Amino acid sequence: MVEIRELEVRHRAAAVSSLHSHIRGLGLDENGNPLRVADGLVGQVEARKAAGIVVEMIRAGMMTGKGILFVGPPGTGKTALAVAIARELGEDTPFVSISGAEIYSAEIKKTEALMRAVRKAMGVRIREEREVYEGVVEELKIRFVRNPFNPYVRVPVEARITLATKDDRKTLSVGEEITTQLVELRIKKGDIIQIDAETGIVTRIGRAKDFASRRRFDIEVRREVEVPKGSVKKVKEITRLVTLHDLDLVVASRRITFSALFGVELEKEIDDEVRKNVNQLVKKMIDEGKAEMVPGVLFIDDAHILDLEAFTFLTKVLESEFSPILILATNRGISKIRGTDIESPHGIPLDLLDRLLIIPTRPYTRDEILEIVRIRADEEGIKLSDDALQRLADLGEEKSLRYAVQLLIPAKIIAERRGRDEVTRDDVNEAASIFADVKESTELVRKYEELFMK
């Protein structure tokens, strides 16, 4: 049982963000037409409109046996669109993102690595009565320390959080397990959350309506809910989302423990019999009304790196009973299917391509780059002057959007060294002068080619 201590101390909140943490959905109006800037997305009007139709197909159960393929140059929002589709399907929809190269670096077979990714993308929503702490987050203070294995990385170790209902208020001291979840879920003031008193599992319910101190951005579209009544600590029927892979590990661990007693060497792969037993258990829980399936999104970037065996496996996955929404992405045109001499569009076999809805993406315009940089700066808590924003937009157009976004934090650090909390054009220029983009790096290699190691 996790330790949760009730305190009387209150603190201010800490904020963190990740690369696609600002994505809240596809940013469509009631007619399915994309808004210019909404839900953290900018531009890609045709792709977002197509993705909206795909979401409707998924909700109507009409994507059986089909998948999605995003095709476009690097840095055109393919991953962001995949994340947005998952957000549209529900905030707790599992989203698993892997690169095609990952399955070759694992110690397990390619098909096992893909199967684990598939199972992680299949959620099971379980209903049960639990003792929980529930309320709106009024104050939050997270303490970070340096990672003992990497001193340049900070890790969360503990937090103090004040939860309030309309009738009660409690300040809790929580340990590393719960704190890590608070960071990963990006919990902030005004969020309504639940903390399981026994397991420490944190669930974000939504944003409190009319929370006094909240800021409104185009990207802030979390579901608004009423502040709960009664005590902060209560017994309540809650829903918990686990994945098929989580259940696979639970069942496999029992078998491993039994095998270890007799000195049996453990296999790195999960036995098919384990997965079969889990499937039967889940079906039984669904029949009894104790659970429901939540198909998630499996996103595979650089899909052209996969080989014929992997593509055959994915084709079989599309036809299976427990299948997530499969989204592939590539920036290749006509290329060879890995491991063969067969050329095919995007390096993907035609029999699989025939099952995919193909959505193209295009390069961003300067105005779109400017809006994306503005959104990322807001998400990172970075204050930009108008000149700095314009300069970053220029760099994004000249070099790449990714390069412009990557300069945000270095420019912020330069500004702070100069005693300012606002990033100026000079700060951006200095950051750009010491950090090269891909094109500059390539030119440098060509210029000093004879000096580089062969």
Tokens of 153: 């990385």
pLDDT of residue 7: 61
Helix, strand, coil % over all residues of the chain, rounded to 5? 35, 30, 35
- Adjacent-strand bridge partners of 334: 345
pLDDT of residue 214: 46
- Per residue in 270-295, pLDDT (tens digit) is 888 888 899 999 999 899 888 888 89
State yes or no: pLDDT of 222 exceeds 60.
no
Cα 176 to chain center, whole Å? Answer: 21
Q: What is the second-level CATH architecture of the domain 366-443?
A: Orthogonal Bundle (1.10)
Is the CB of residue 248 less than 8 Å from the CB of residue 272? no
d(CA 142, CA 157): 8
Sequence-distant (≥ 6) Cβ neighbours of residue 99 within 8 angstroms: 300, 301, 302, 305
- Per residue in 331-357, pLDDT (tens digit) is 988 989 988 888 899 989 998 999 999
Pick the more confident residue, 413 or 101.
413
d(CA 337, CA 346): 8
State yes or no: pLDDT of 59 exceeds 50.
yes
Residue 294: φ, ψ to 5°: -130, 85
d(CA 322, CA 279): 9
Name the pTM for this structure. 0.68
Strands 150-164 and 169-174: antiparallel
Which CATH class, in words, describes the domain spanning 4-18+126-240?
Answer: mainly beta
State yes or no: pLDDT of 135 exceeds 70.
yes
State yes or no: pLDDT of 384 exceeds 90.
yes
Is the CB of residue 158 less than 8 Å from the CB of residue 175? yes
b/e burial code for range 208-219 (CB count within 10 A of at least 16 → b): beebeeeeeebb
Strands (E) across 2-121 are located at 4-7, 37-38, 41-42, 67-71, 95-99
d(CA 36, CA 371): 10
Residue 191: φ, ψ to 5°: -80, 140
**44-120+296-363, superfamily in CATH?**
P-loop containing nucleotide triphosphate hydrolases (3.40.50.300)
Average pLDDT score over the chain: 84
* Spans of all domains in the chain: 4-18+126-240, 44-120+296-363, 366-443
d(CA 368, CA 219): 15
Residue 14: φ, ψ to 5°: -115, 150
